[in-house]
Amino acid sequence: MTAQKYVLHLCHDYTIPFLDVARQYASLFKGTEYQVITVYLVGEKDQKVIDYTDSDEVLFLNNCSGDLKGLKRKQINQVKKLCSHYDFKFAIGHRYQAIYILRHIKNLPVLGVNHSFGKLKRFSRRLFLNMHKKNLYLIGISNAIRDEMRIALPKFPKSQIVTLYNRINLEQVQNIQVSRAEARNFLGLTDDKYVFANVGRLHPDKDQKTLINSFAKVASQLPDSILVILGKGRLEKELKEQVKQLQLEERVLFLGLVPDAIKYYRAFDSFVLSSDYEPFGMVLLEAIISDVPVIATNAGGAKEVIKSDQWLFNVGDEEQLLNLMLNFYHLEANEIASINAQNVQWLKQNFTDEAVKKSFWKLPFLKNIL
């Protein structure tokens, strides 16, 4: 009888967006000989989380975020105990803390996934990773993240730092989306408006300030246009004050945090990502699936998601963004359909569960691990 092959999948927690990240990585092993044990370091048992993760087994270590400070001895012992019950062939860890814990398990190959910029600024983290680079393989969610890691770790073999894109379940998302009319009704938007949209935290990294300034010029030329911003964050008061000073209270709508916002993307005529510090740009995939044309900055991984750089603008360039928004407004229906078709085809080639699964099993170091 062949022994069961297990993969340990260690996640920090199941907050958004990391719950879907857990699902993405569990899906890599569907239909293979491997069973995935997904383990959440932080958080209590939740049946909805178990169902959504869609792993062979889901475990909760019941820590709180504060427990993961310091040397993490408790969590290391928890994972060691788990490893004594399963013969894991390798492990996947998300974010530095999970990678740190997994590197304390002797002889366990580790794939460590980095989801954001700046995580290796600390000398102590770079030192630790360099000291434990044997059987350690680092994954960036975009080429931009991968390249930053390679620069931060010049002594680390480049072949052990690779890209594996974030992805989206095409069918699952399309099945939950509502029609344009229903989406506009839910969001309180009338059908006679051209809607520019932005979805994300109200945070300096998302640079909605530049977007609002550009839209102020758009609004003076396109009287039927509005800008809707979905999200919450520490800049909410500041951004609303900016809108008030520009006398755009009726034209820029802050809709707050909308649960399951992806269901309502078809309410938008175009989508604008204004981030100046974007690791990947998951919202771009969500807009593309919704047949909404997208404009984005050329920052970080965002430029890797859009098929053509024709619809990219330089970070903070209000004039360039203004021109792109005006161009989008004046596009004919057949031009919009062509842009959407190109973006959807690019998405299917690179950013679906199926496409990334193929890329994962072709990773050169995976053969050595197995």
CATH 3.40.50.2000 is the classification of domain 5-167+352-369: yes
Burial class of 86 by CB neighbour count within 10 A (0 to 12, 13 to 18, 19+): middle
Is a pLDDT exceeding 50 seen at residue 240?
Answer: yes
Predicted structure pTM score = 0.92
The average pLDDT across 74-91 equals 94
Specify the CATH number of the domain 170-350: 3.40.50.2000
Residue-wise pLDDT for 192-238, tens only, equals 999 999 999 999 999 999 999 999 999 999 999 999 999 999 999 99
Residue 296 pairs with which residues in a beta bridge?
Answer: 273, 312
The reply to whether 170-350 shares the fold of 5-167+352-369 is yes
Quick one: which of 126, 137, 148, 71 has its CA closest to 104? 71
CA angle 185-187-192, nearest 5°?
60
Structure tokens at 232: 């919450």
The answer to whether residues 226 and 196 touch, using CB atoms and an 8 Å cutoff, is yes
Instruction: Please count the CA atoms within 13 angstroms of the CA of 230 that sit on its side-chain side.
Output: 23
Q: How far is it, in rounded angstroms, from Cα 204 to Cα 201?
A: 9
Residue 193 pairs with which residues in a beta bridge?
Answer: none
Q: How far is it, in rounded angstroms, from Cα 253 to Cα 243?
A: 9
- What is the pLDDT at residue 209? 97
Structure tokens at 195: 């809607």
Residue-wise pLDDT for 2-39, tens only, equals 568 999 999 999 998 899 999 999 999 999 999 999 99
Rounded to the nearest 5°, which phi and psi values hold at 254? -95, 110
Residue-wise pLDDT for 242-255, tens only, equals 999 999 999 999 99
- What is the pLDDT at residue 130? 95
Q: What is the DSSP letter of 352?
A: B
- What is the pLDDT at residue 2? 55
Give me Rg for the CA atoms of the chain.
22
- What is the pLDDT at residue 1? 44
Quick one: which of 165, 177, 175, 174 has its CA closest to 353? 165
- What is the pLDDT at residue 17? 84
**Cα distances (Å, whole numbers) of residue 23 to 11, 50, 54, 56:** 11, 10, 6, 11
Residue-range domain boundaries for the chain: 5-167+352-369, 170-350
